[in-house]
Structures are given as C-alpha cells and as structure tokens.
C-alpha cells in the first residue's frame, strides 16, 4: 500500500490520469443512479434490480452488434425504447402490486426480479463475459496522459441524456406530473393527475435510462449476467450520498465515486476496490444517520 | 380408522417396493451396461464448460461402445453415464453425489466441472469409497488432503503459468537483463484456482530470484482492472501474469488494448475460453497462454488416433465448435482411463478398481496418464502457446514447440 502511494508521489501525472479515468466512468454511474433516484423519490420503491436493467441493456446492444452488426451507439435509442416497454410491462405485472406495500415487499420483489433477469440472461447467452466493440481508439496526450475516445463519447452522451431529462422534468406536462406526485401523491391525485400512469412512466423511464447506461458499459467495460449487483450498489451509494431528487448532487457524487474507486483500486489493490465501495456506502449511511439524529433533536 | 391404517401400510409398502426396483434399474452394472455417475454443471456460471466436458465424456463413451465396449471377466459391457445438473453450486454437487451413490447405486464416477465442485465431491467419494476419475478440477488443494479415491487426468493448477516464468528467465538476455533483474507484475483473481496458479508462479519467481513489483488480486465481480494497469505503466515490469478465468482474461485483454500496455511478456490463462483473439485481434498478439492440451501436439492412442484426429472427430460429432476446448479432450481421456482400469481390474469391486486406477500408466491422445500417490497426473506437462498472427502456436516446452517464441512482444494495436 505504501509502495503504491510512493508511485503516485513519484509520478504526479498518474493522479490526473486516475481522476480522469474515474470521472469518465463515473458519468455512466450517474445515469443509473439518477434513474434510481427517480424511482425511489417518486414511487418510494428501492429498485434492487437496477444493475440488472443496466446489464440487460448492455446485452441487447451486444446481441444487436453480434447478429446484425449494428454499432452499439446507433442501437442506443432502440435499447432505450425496448427497455422502456420492458419497464412498463414490469410495472403492470409486478411493481404496481408492491408499490403501496411496506418496504420489504418492494425490496423482495425487485430483488427477485433481479435474480430472474440474471438467470434469464444466463440461460439465453451463457455465463461468459461479453464485450461490445466501439471500434474507437485511445489517444495519448502530453506526458503520456491517455484518454479513450469511447469514454469521452460516453461522457458526452451521458451529459446530453441528463440535459434532456432535466428539461423533460422541468418543462413537459408529464415531468411536472412526476414532480407533483413525488411531492404529495394524494394531493396530486386530487388535482386530477393519474398517479398510476405517472408511476408506470417513471419506472419505464428509469429502465430506459439504465438501458442507455448498459450500452455504454458494454462498450467501455464488459458485461456478464451476474455483474448487475455492483451497479446496483454503486447506484445506492450515489443516491444515498446525494439525496433524492437532487440531480446535480447525483452527478457530482457519481463522478466522485468513479474517481474514488480508481484511487481505492490503485492504493489498496484491486481486491479492495469493491470493498472500498461498500465501505463508502457504510460511511455515507453513518453520516446521514448522525445528520438525522441532529435534526430530530432540533424538532424536540 | 382401521382401514386407513391398513391402506397407509399398503401405500408405504408399495413405495418401498418401487424405490427398491428403481434402485436396481440404475445399479452400477445392469445386464451388459456399466453406469458411471456424474453431477456436472448444465446451468449456472460453469454451464458452458460443463457442457464441453459432457460432450467429451459422451464422445468417448460412444467411441468405446462402438469399439466393443469394456471387457470385464470375459464379458463385454457397454458404458453409460447418469448425469445430474449441479447448477454450478458445490453444495448441490455434494447432494447429488450422495443421491447417485445411495439411491442410484452407482459405484464409479466421472468428475464435475471446476475445482470448487470437485472439492465438494471429494469427501463424498471418500466416505463411500467409490472411485472418481475427474478431468476438470485442477486445484492443487485437491491433491494435498490424502484422498485415495480421487484421480485427475489433467495437470494441476500451480503448473499453469510457472512455465512462463521459466521462459522469461531463459529469455532475459534478449532484453539485456539477467534473470534476477526481471520484474514481475501479477494480477490474480481471489479464488482457489487462481491462487494456486499464483502459488506456482511465486515459487518459480523465488527460484530464479526475480522481483515481484505488483501483486494485485481481482475480486469476483470486477470488470475494471485499469488501476492495476496504470500501476503497470508506472513501474514498467518485464513480465505481466494474469489469471482470473475467462472474465479476467476478457477484462485484461480489453484494457491492455485500451490502455496500450507495453510489457515485453504477457502471460494469462483462459485465452481460448475468453475468445480474446476474436474479440481483440492484433492487440493480443504475442500473449502467452498455457493449455492442458492442443490438437497440434503429437500425442496419440489406439482408440482416437492422434490429437488432431480427435479434434476432427469432435468437430464432426458436435456442430458449432471452431476449436475443440481442452476441457472436452480431458473429459474424453477420463473415460478412457475408466475403460483401461476396469479391464485391468477385471472386477466390479470398487476397491480392486481403485487399485487398478492407481496403477494406471497409459498413453492417450491427450498425453501420458500416470497417477501420483495423491491422484494427480504426473505424466503430462502443461504446454505454453503464444498468439502469433491471431493463431495459437506451441512455443514451450521446447520438446513440443512448433514455433520460436516472440520476445519481447511487439503488439499491433
């Protein structure tokens, strides 16, 4: 560990490299996390299948490239549409039934859903690791700084998607309805908003966003039926750190998490990279708990 | 009440009878058929290789039956396998083996796929004193526990990458260094198999007095090893060794390409299974990959002929294989061992069959097979292949090498 710190000290450019690597990959995490924040904030459903939606999106893009030779980026809108419909079907068949139940019912339902998606992907495509290729290069800049083009494109696409989502939530009728429902579902219903439709739309929008993240993951890293869980955990870390309904917070937390993970992996070793993630989750939860305790005292 | 009691007894009796008859129907030797048992992965994370192994078993069984079967005490028997799906879960493997022994009355076994499931199987095999010939569990730890009924045809895991270290020591002068100056970076998954591979590598590194500059372990669900590869860029090792099953190989190959990692020697396991040549053509040229078996080796036997003839037969029997995985070849070899041992034992007594297995000394298309006292095969070396222009060619050990090794590597990105 100290050896690794020494390397960082001896090669300052490496710090910059790790931060860039982390921020670029963090942009993809931001997408999945924002979807989770949406579902959590609006429907109060903590979707444990979040990561599996991401992987599912990746598989669709990979399959389309393998069978029809469609470039994953071109395929991205189609993946989003497919996952939107998939999300809608899930809402009608499963989520609608658990949305008003207690926390554990929705946790169990989405956890089960995650297992079903994993095993279905495993049965359909086997347990091998798959990669979608972007055909793009890695560029080397001054002082050996390397940036993969695909990661930059991911960042741009993520930003564009985030912008569209923000505008959609602010400007469109559906966006307003979603925000109204998240503030007070009952009042929204009284005002004539069809909250059931809002829920269905929110859940579908989330799975579409996850699908987009999955396409990018398949091109930058790789996908395997059982990789979903780490993306679920990352989404939870980011959302708990940033708070619900706080998109700028989600983006900053995601980019920070990306960089922190790269540092964690570098300094503590790869084996602790995911552990580092979980420790951060614990840290954030602990911090929030202390914050809440303070708030409670003020009320007293 | 009385009638109810009677009918309960009657039903219980009938169930008992049907269970008994079911038992005899699957007994180990029934008429002219010897049934071997195997719990192997048809679903779950090992399913692909589990099916490769099953295909290997089935091909050898078909071939043996066509050639007249197995002769024991002057009578010819056909071979058959009773399979169960262990869902890639070791606990399930153990349960199913109990079931094969106790309910199905099977006394002779073929192994599951993977070291983890074989580890779960071994205690059951020992408990009932029924021999197993396994072909897919390479972990060193399977052969340090004093098991007497477990035999493996494949080379154990600590040999996988050790030969690469020896090769690096031999080639060191080509980059103007002494063997003791060679710096090695290691990335291994944190699982029994990969850690065994690592132990073999570390042993050889010590033997040659080389230096370990990076020693990272990959967790199971990691799709990003770039932090370690950044370290590699910073400390510039001479050798990079990686082992983490096919997902580790795919992740490493992808990121070595993306980060343009330039190390004179890169050696990793599972190159074939991860299909890195197809996925990252060019960028993976000159990678060294160990293999249990290759169709280009000059091993041969009477049943299958040469290794390349086995390769042809396998591809003709099972559609959709471009390359024959070594997992299938070694599975076929395990069945050959059974035939050989049963014939030499000339009996179906598990103890006699075990002793015959232990005395095995045969040549096969898969290589020599001779078991050490611990049950591992000591007659077959691991071979090291290099990816040259997108093709796997044998470069070490020199007895089997078909091409000279490219060192230092010159990747075409």
A126 and B273 in contact by Cβ < 8 A? Answer: no
Pick from B221, B223, B227: which is nearest to A262 by CB? B227
Return all residues near A180 (Cβ < 8 A) that are at least 6 apart.
A187, A188, A191, A193
Mean pLDDT of B147-176: 92
Taking only the tens place, the pLDDT of each residue in A166-180 is 899 889 999 999 989
Q: Are the beta carbons of B45 and A127 separated by less than 8 Å?
A: yes
- How many percent of chain B have pLDDT more than 90? 60
Q: What pLDDT band is residue B412 in, cutting at 50, 70 and 90? A: low
Please state, in angstroms and rounded to a whole number, the distance separating the CA atoms of residues B294 and B390.
16
Tokens of A59: 């598989």
What is the pLDDT averaged over residues A136-161? 86
Encoding tokens for residue B311? 């390769």
Distances (CA, A) of A142 to A16, A145, A146, B229, B330: 12, 6, 9, 19, 51
Question: What's the pLDDT at B5?
Answer: 56
Per-residue model confidence (pLDDT) at position B256: 92
d(CA B287, CA B405): 10
Chain A residues touching residue B116 (CB < 8 angstroms): none
- CB-based contact (8 Å) between B230 and chain A? yes
* Low-confidence winner among A32-41, A240-249, B368-377 (lowest mean pLDDT): A240-249
Give the separation between CA B265 and CA B386, rounded to whole angstroms: 10
Band of pLDDT at residue B132, cut at 50, 70 and 90: very high
Decide if pLDDT at B23 tops 50.
no
Closest approach of chain A CAs to the CA of B267, in angstroms? 19
Give the residue with greater pLDDT, A100 vs B221. Answer: A100
Structure tokens, B282: 């060019």
Least confident of A120-129, A238-247, B62-71, B366-375: A238-247
**Res B209 pLDDT > 90:** yes
Residues of B in contact with A232 (CB under 8 A): none
pLDDT of residue B12: 56
Instruction: Confirm or reject contact between B45 and chain A (CB < 8 A).
Output: yes
Length of chain B: 413
Q: Which residues of B touch A265 (CB under 8 A)?
A: 224-228
Cβ within 8 Å, pair B254-A21: no
Query: What span, in angstroms and rounded, lies between the C-alpha atoms of B268 and A95?
Result: 45
What are the tens digits of pLDDT across the range B271-318?
Answer: 888 888 888 888 899 999 999 998 888 888 999 999 999 999 999 999
Contacts 24+ apart (CB under 8 A), A226-229: A226/A118, A226/A122, A226/A127, A226/B45, A226/B221, A227/A51, A227/A55, A227/B221, A227/B223, A228/A49, A228/A50, A228/A51, A228/A52, A228/A53, A228/A54, A228/A55, A228/A114, A228/A117, A228/A118, A229/A51, A229/A114, A229/B221
Is any Cβ of chain A less than 8 angstroms from the Cβ of B227?
yes
Do the chains contact at A25 and B259, CB–CB below 8 Å?
no
Of B48, B216, B279, the CB nearest to A269: B216
Q: A2 touching B, CB under 8 A?
A: no
Q: Quick one: pLDDT at residue A137?
A: 82
Instruction: Note the pLDDT of residue B6.
Output: 59
Mean pLDDT of A194-222: 92
Task: Name the residue among B187, B184, B394, B390 with its Cα closest to residue B284.
Answer: B390
When pLDDT is cut at 50, 70 and 90, the band that residue A241 belongs to is: confident
* SS3 annotation, chain B: CHHHHHHHHHHHHHHHHHHHHHHHHCCCEECCEEEEEEEECCCCCCHHHHHHHHHHHHHHHHHHHHCCCEEECCEEEEEEEEEEECCCCHHHHHHHHHHHHHCCCCCEEECCCCHHHHHHHHHHHHHHCCCEEECCCCCHHHHCCCCCCEEECCCCHHHCCHHHHHHHHHHHHHHCCCHHHCEEEEEEECCHHHHHHHHHHHHHHHHHCCEEEEEEEECCCCCCCHHHHHHHHHHCCCEEEEECHHHHHHHHHHHHHHCCCCCCEEEECCCCCCCHHHHCCCCCCCCEEEECCCCCCCCEECCCEEHHHHHHHHHHHCCCCCCCCHHHHHHHHHHHHHHHHHHHHCCCCHHHHHHHHHCCEEEECCEEEEECCCCCECCCCCEEEEEECCEEEEEECCCCCCCCCCCCCCCCC
- Say if residue B257's pLDDT is above 60: yes
Q: B25-155+296-370 and B159-291+383-396 share one CATH topology?
A: yes
The percentage of residues in chain B with a pLDDT greater than 70, rounded to a whole number, is 93
In A, residues 247-286, which contact B (CB 8 Å cutoff)?
A: 262-266, 269-271, 273-275
Total length of chain A: 300
Q: What confidence tens digit (pLDDT) does each residue in B308-349 have?
A: 999 999 999 998 888 888 999 999 999 999 999 999 999 999
Q: Cβ of A196: how many Cβ atoms within 10 Å?
A: 14
Select from A10, A222, A265 the Cβ nearest to the Cβ of B227. A265
Residues of B in contact with A222 (CB under 8 A): 223, 247, 250-251, 254
pLDDT above 80 (res B413): no
Question: Domain locations in chain A?
Answer: 2-299
CA distance A112 to A206: 18
Residue B219 or A104, more confident: A104
Between CA B130 and CA B116 the distance in angstroms is 20
Q: What is the pLDDT of residue B275?
A: 85
The pLDDT of residue A139: 84
pLDDT for position A222: 87
B48, B190, B217 ranked by CB distance to A128: nearest:
B48
- CA atoms within 13 Å, Cβ hemisphere of B100: 33
CATH of domain B159-291+383-396: 3.40.50.2300
Which of A145, A221, A230 would best serve as a mutation to test chain B binding (most B beta carbons within 10 A)? A221
For an interface test with A, give the residue of B49, B217, B226, B272 to mutate (most A CBs within 10 A): B226
Angle A255-A111-A23 (CA atoms, 0-180°, nearest 5)?
10
Model confidence at B22: pLDDT above 50: no
For residue B20, is pLDDT > 60?
Answer: no
The pLDDT value recorded for residue A208 is: 95
B121 pLDDT tier (thresholds 50, 70, 90) = very high
Specify the pLDDT at position B21.
Answer: 44
Q: Which CATH number fits domain B25-155+296-370: 3.90.1150.10, 3.40.50.720, 3.30.43.10, 3.40.50.2300?
A: 3.40.50.2300
Nearest CB partner across the interface for B260, out of A138, A223, A262: A138
What percentage of chain A carries pLDDT values higher than 70?
A: 97
Name the burial class of residue B98, with classes exposed (0-12), middle (13-18) and buried (19+) by CB atoms within 10 angstroms of its CB: middle
With contacts defined as CB-CB under 8 Å, which chain A residues touch B275? 128
pLDDT band at B4 (very low <50, low <70, confident <90, very high): low
Instruction: Report the pLDDT averaged over residues B170-180.
Output: 90
| Average pLDDT, integer, range A38-54 | 91
CB contact under 8 A, B217 and A14: no
Residue ranges per structural domain of chain B: 25-155+296-370, 159-291+383-396
Say yes or no to pLDDT of B1 above 50. no
> What pLDDT digit, counting tens, does each position of B33-79 carry?
999 999 999 988 788 889 999 999 999 999 999 999 999 988 999 99
**What is the structure's pLDDT at A114?**
94
pLDDT of residue A1: 66
pTM: 0.80
Top residue of A269, A274, A276, A279 to mutate, by most chain B CBs within 10 Å, is A269
CB-based burial, B169-196: b 16+ in 10 Å, e otherwise: bebbeeeeeebeebbbbbbbbbbbbbbb
Per-residue pLDDT, averaged over A233-248, amounts to 84
Mean pLDDT on A231-254: 86
Q: Which CATH architecture has domain A2-299?
A: Orthogonal Bundle (1.10)
Q: Report the alpha-carbon distance of residue B365 to residue B336 in Å, rounded.
A: 10
Residue B226 touches chain A, beta carbons under 8 Å: yes
Q: Is pLDDT of A192 > 70?
A: yes
Residue B36's nearest CA partner among B61, B12, B15 is: B61
**A143 in B contact zone (CB under 8 Å):** no
pLDDT of B26: 42
């Amino acid at each position: 560990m100290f050896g690794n710190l020494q390397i960082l000290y001896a090669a300052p450019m490496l710090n910059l490299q790790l931060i860039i690597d982390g921020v670029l990959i963090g942009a993809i995490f931001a997408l999945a996390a924002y979807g989770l924040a949406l579902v959590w904030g609006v429907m109060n459903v903590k979707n444990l299948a979040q990561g599996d939606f991401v992987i599912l999106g990746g598989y669709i893009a990979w399959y389309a490239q393998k069978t029809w030779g469609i470039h994953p980026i071109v395929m991205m809108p189609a993946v989003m549409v497919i996952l939107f419909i998939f999300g809608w079907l899930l809402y009608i068949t499963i989520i609608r039934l658990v949305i008003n139940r207690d926390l554990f019912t929705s946790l169990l339902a989405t956890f089960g859903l995650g297992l079903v998606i994993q095993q279905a992907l495993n049965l359909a495509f086997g347990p091998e690791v798959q990669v979608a290729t972007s055909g793009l290069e890695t560029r080397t800049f001054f002082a050996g700084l390397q940036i993969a083009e695909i990661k930059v494109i991911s960042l741009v696409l993520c930003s564009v998607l985030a912008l569209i989502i923000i505008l959609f939530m602010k400007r469109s009728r559906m966006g307003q309805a979603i925000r109204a429902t998240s503030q007070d579902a009952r009042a929204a219903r009284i005002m004539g908003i069809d909250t059931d439709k809002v829920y269905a739309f929110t859940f579908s929008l989330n799975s579409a966003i996850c699908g987009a993240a999955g396409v990018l993951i398949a091109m930058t890293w790789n996908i395997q039926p059982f990789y979903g869980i780490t993306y679920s955990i990352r989404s939870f870390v980011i959302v708990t750190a940033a708070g619900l309904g706080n998109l700028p917070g989600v983006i900053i937390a995601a980019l920070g998490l990306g960089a922190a993970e790269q540092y964690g992996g570098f300094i503590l070793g790869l084996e602790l990279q995911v552990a580092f993630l979980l420790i951060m989750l614990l840290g954030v939860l602990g911090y929030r708990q202390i914050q809440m305790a303070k708030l409670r005292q003020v009320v007293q | 009440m009385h009638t109810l009691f009677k009918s309960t007894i009657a039903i219980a009796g009938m169930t008992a009878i049907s269970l008994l008859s079911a038992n005899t129907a699957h007994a180990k030797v029934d008429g002219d058929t010897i049934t071997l048992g195997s719990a192997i992965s048809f679903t779950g994370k090992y399913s692909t290789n589990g099916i490769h192994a099953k295909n290997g078993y089935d091909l050898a069984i078909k071939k043996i039956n066509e050639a007249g079967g197995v002769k024991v005490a002057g009578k010819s028997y056909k071979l058959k396998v009773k399979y169960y799906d262990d869902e890639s879960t070791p606990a399930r493997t153990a349960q199913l083996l109990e079931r094969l022994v106790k309910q199905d009355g099977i006394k002779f076994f073929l192994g599951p796929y993977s070291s983890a499931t074989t580890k779960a199987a071994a205690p059951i095999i020992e408990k009932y004193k029924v021999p197993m010939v396994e072909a897919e569990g390479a972990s060193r730890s399977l052969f340090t526990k004093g098991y007497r009924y477990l035999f493996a045809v494949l080379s154990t895991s600590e040999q996988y990458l050790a030969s690469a270290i020896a090769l690096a020591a031999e080639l060191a002068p080509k980059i103007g260094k002494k063997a003791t100056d060679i710096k090695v970076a290691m990335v291994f998954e944190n699982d029994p198999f990969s850690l065994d591979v690592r132990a073999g590598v570390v042993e050889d590194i010590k033997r040659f007095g080389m230096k370990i500059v990076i020693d990272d372990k990959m967790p199971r669900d990691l799709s990003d090893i770039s932090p370690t590869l950044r370290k590699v860029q910073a400390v510039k090792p001479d050798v990079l060794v990686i082992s983490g099953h096919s997902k580790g190989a795919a992740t490493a190959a992808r990121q070595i390409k993306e980060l343009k990692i330039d190390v004179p020697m890169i050696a990793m396991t599972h190159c074939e299974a991860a299909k890195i040549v197809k996925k990252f053509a060019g960028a993976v040229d000159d990678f060294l990959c160990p293999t249990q078996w290759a169709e280009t080796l000059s091993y041969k036997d009477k049943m299958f002929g040469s290794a390349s003839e086995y390769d042809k037969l396998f591809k003709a029997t099972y559609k959709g294989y471009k390359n024959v995985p070594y997992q299938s070849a070694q599975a076929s070899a395990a069945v050959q061992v059974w035939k050989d041992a049963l014939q030499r034992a000339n009996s179906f007594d598990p103890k006699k069959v075990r002793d015959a297995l232990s005395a095995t000394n045969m040549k096969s298309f898969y290589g020599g097979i001779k078991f050490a006292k611990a049950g591992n095969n000591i007659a077959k070396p691991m071979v090291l292949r290099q990816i040259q222009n997108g093709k796997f060619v044998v470069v070490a050990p020199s007895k089997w090498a078909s091409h000279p090794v490219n060192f230092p590597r010159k990747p075409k990105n």
